[in-house]
Amino acid sequence: MTDTTVLELVSPSALLKSEPVEMVVVPGTDGNFGVLPKHAPMISTIRPGVIDIYAGGKVSERIFVAGGVAEVNPERCTILAEEAVPVADIKADEAQARLETAEADLKAATTAHDKANAERALEIARAQIAALSN
Amino acid sequence: MASLKDLRSRIASVKSTKKITSAMKMVAASKLRRSQDAAEAARPYADRMGTMLGRLAAAVGGSQGAPKLLAGTGKDDVHLLVVFTADRGLCGGFNASIIKATRIKIRALRAAGKTVKLICVGRKGADALKREFGDAIVARYTGVEGKKGIDFSAATDVADKILALYDEGEFDVCSIFYNKFVSAISQVVTEQQLVPFAVPEADGQEEATGSSAVYEYEPSEEAILADLLPRNVGVQIFGAMLESSASEHGARMSAMDNATRNAGDMIDRLSIQYNRSRQAQITNELIEIISGAEAL
């Protein structure tokens, strides 16, 4: 039996996942990091990207998150994500539509606040498309 | 004395009212189940967010670089109250109790010389408060609960507004007022401070072991806090919306249950009255016939 760490993926509306995994790779703001059992405690913010869950040395599941925070301690890895969908469920045309809306919003944005929001949406859409292409 | 025809139409109208109230009760019951599930599903996120923030706040606490959302503006002059009510009535004391609590709070704050601003979520609250405090209402939101329940984006809309106001220095302290769901027959009016972030009391055991572990922060405590605090505002608002909606459906369910029962009682009473007066009329007619026959 290999060592496992508990992965908890929580979105505002539900506890999406709470199960032992061998390793999980999280897209941190300062770069991806892998979490293995007995990882040193840390808290990191997450950029839009894909969480890779490993089982038996291979990627078993890929989940797209639109940013959030992760808390890691030796027993568990808790990810608070604003939006999380399995990569397999992302539709290419929807992601493309989202990208276009975000681009249009960015052009139309007048205040700094709107602009920041649109930029964030754009980043999420780009990450989603990138997630699909590999 | 009401005529038989009056009584009959009265009974018919009470019966149709009863049908409506019992249908509303059923609808409220099914909506209650859904919103209760949603409220419960949202709790883990809020809980974990709370513990994470508590830990971070403890690490950063007191230092100069603490974000404004945590440290506050250092003043206590302008209060922003966010009031959660329902869009619709017919739910017992649900709206009235929250409005009453808000009114008392506003009067107390004004008596203490503070300025009060209001954000109303839900139409009933805005309608009831605008007569007395119309000038204080800075924003109002209606229809937060869509066909498929409450969407997180509805909460972020409100949170964005609050954060924008805070950035502009429009208020110093923000509290939310909502009905916390206890059970279908019991909802508690709850006041919760949102800004500045109130660090939750350390709960003994977990903290004692948790705080000794040294956390690494990536990128840095301050950066994470700056990211997490605004998000927390949204999460708190979302939680309040869910609690409020579960409470609303619970309150409506019990109110409609009462109404249905009252209507049933009334139908019984009216039916007895109807039967009695019908009997009295028949007796009367008989007496007339008999005495008519005897007179011959």
Q: What is the ipTM of this complex?
A: 0.78
**What is the DSSP secondary-structure string of B224-249?**
HHHHHHHHHHHHHHHHHHHHHHHHHH
d(CA A50, CA A32): 10
Chain B residue closest to A41 (CA)? B215
Query: Which residues in chain B touch residue A33, judged by CB atoms under 8 angstroms apart?
Result: 218
Kindly indicate the confidence band of residue B201, based on its pLDDT and cuts at 50, 70 and 90: low
Domains and CATH numbers, chain B: 4-22+256-295 (1.10.287.80), 31-251 (3.40.1380.10)
Decide the pairing of beta strands A76-81 and A68-72. Answer: antiparallel
Is residue B115 within 8 Å of B135, Cβ to Cβ?
Answer: no
Kindly indicate the confidence band of residue B277, based on its pLDDT and cuts at 50, 70 and 90: very high
Q: What is the mean pLDDT of residues B256-272?
A: 96
Closest Cα of chain A to B107: distance in Å? Answer: 34
Bigger pLDDT: B286 or B92?
B286
Would you state the pLDDT for residue B175? 92
Residues A81, A125 within the same domain: no
Query: Which residues in chain B touch residue A28, judged by CB atoms under 8 angstroms apart?
Result: 218
Residues A68, A114 within the same domain: no
Is residue B145 within 8 Å of B87, Cβ to Cβ?
Answer: yes
d(CA B174, CA B197): 9
For residue B208, is pLDDT > 50?
no
Residues A82, A121 within the same domain: no
Bigger pLDDT: B220 or B247?
B247
As a whole number of Å, the end-to-end CA separation of chain A is 31
Q: What is the mean pLDDT of residues B121-148?
A: 87
**B226 shares contact with chain A (CB less than 8 Å):** no
- Domain boundaries, position A22: 5-87
d(CA B293, CA B274): 29
The partner residue sitting opposite B41, judged by closest CB among A13, A33, A82, is A13
Would you state the pLDDT for residue A2? 67
Q: What is the mean pLDDT of residues B22-44?
A: 91
Would you state the pLDDT for residue A12? 83
pLDDT tens, residue by residue, A22-68: 999 999 988 899 999 888 888 899 999 999 998 888 888 899 998 88
For residue B211, is pLDDT > 50?
no
Residues A42, A65 within the same domain: yes
The size of the A-B interface in CB pairs under 8 A is: 75
Is residue B42 within 8 Å of B242, Cβ to Cβ?
Answer: yes
Residues A13, A45 within the same domain: yes
Is residue B116 within 8 Å of B110, Cβ to Cβ?
Answer: yes
Q: Which range among A93-97, B150-154, B216-220, B274-278 has the greatest average pLDDT? A: B274-278
Residues A67, A96 within the same domain: no
For residue A89, is pLDDT > 70?
yes
Nearest Cα residue to B52 out of A105, A71, A47: A71
Q: Residues of chain B with pLDDT > 70: what percent?
A: 93
Q: Is B62 left (phi over 0), alpha (psi -120 to 50) or beta?
A: left
Residues A46, A109 within the same domain: no
Residues A33, A75 within the same domain: yes
How many domains does chain A contain in total? Answer: 2
Query: Which residues in chain B touch residue A10, judged by CB atoms under 8 angstroms apart?
Result: 44-45, 48
Would you state the pLDDT for residue B223? 83
Which DSSP letter does residue B134 get? G
**B146 shares contact with chain A (CB less than 8 Å):** no
Decide the pairing of beta strands B216-218 and A42-46. Answer: parallel
Torsion from C-alpha of B39, B48, B64, B74, nearest 10 degrees: 20
**B227 shares contact with chain A (CB less than 8 Å):** yes
For residue B264, is pLDDT > 60?
yes
For residue B24, give the amino acid letter.
Answer: M
d(CA A44, CA A68): 9
pLDDT tens, residue by residue, B164-200: 898 888 899 999 999 999 888 889 999 988 888 876 6
Closest Cα of chain B to A69: distance in Å? Answer: 8
Least confident of B24-33, B66-75, B147-156: B66-75
Chain A residue closest to B239 (CA)? A12
Residues A14, A79 within the same domain: yes
Would you state the pLDDT for residue B294? 93
Residues A20, A76 within the same domain: yes
Chain A residue closest to B237 (CA)? A12
* CATH code, domain with A60: 2.60.15.10
B174 catalytically annotated: no
Which entry of B24, B60, B69, B91 is annotated as an active-site residue?
A: B91
For residue B204, is pLDDT > 60?
no
Would you state the pLDDT for residue B61? 62
For residue B206, is pLDDT > 70?
no
The pTM score is: 0.84
d(CA B135, CA B4): 54
Would you state the pLDDT for residue B62? 59
Closest Cα of chain A to B165: distance in Å? Answer: 12
**B168 shares contact with chain A (CB less than 8 Å):** no
Task: For residue A75, count other CB atoms closer than 10 A to its CB.
Answer: 11
Residues A58, A72 within the same domain: yes
pLDDT tens, residue by residue, A92-134: 888 888 888 888 888 888 887 778 888 888 888 888 888 887 6
Q: Which residue out of A13, A29, A46, A117 would a mutagenesis test of the B interface target, given it has the greatest number of B Cβ atoms within 10 Å?
A: A13
Task: For residue B249, count other CB atoms closer than 10 A to its CB.
Answer: 26
Residues A29, A81 within the same domain: yes
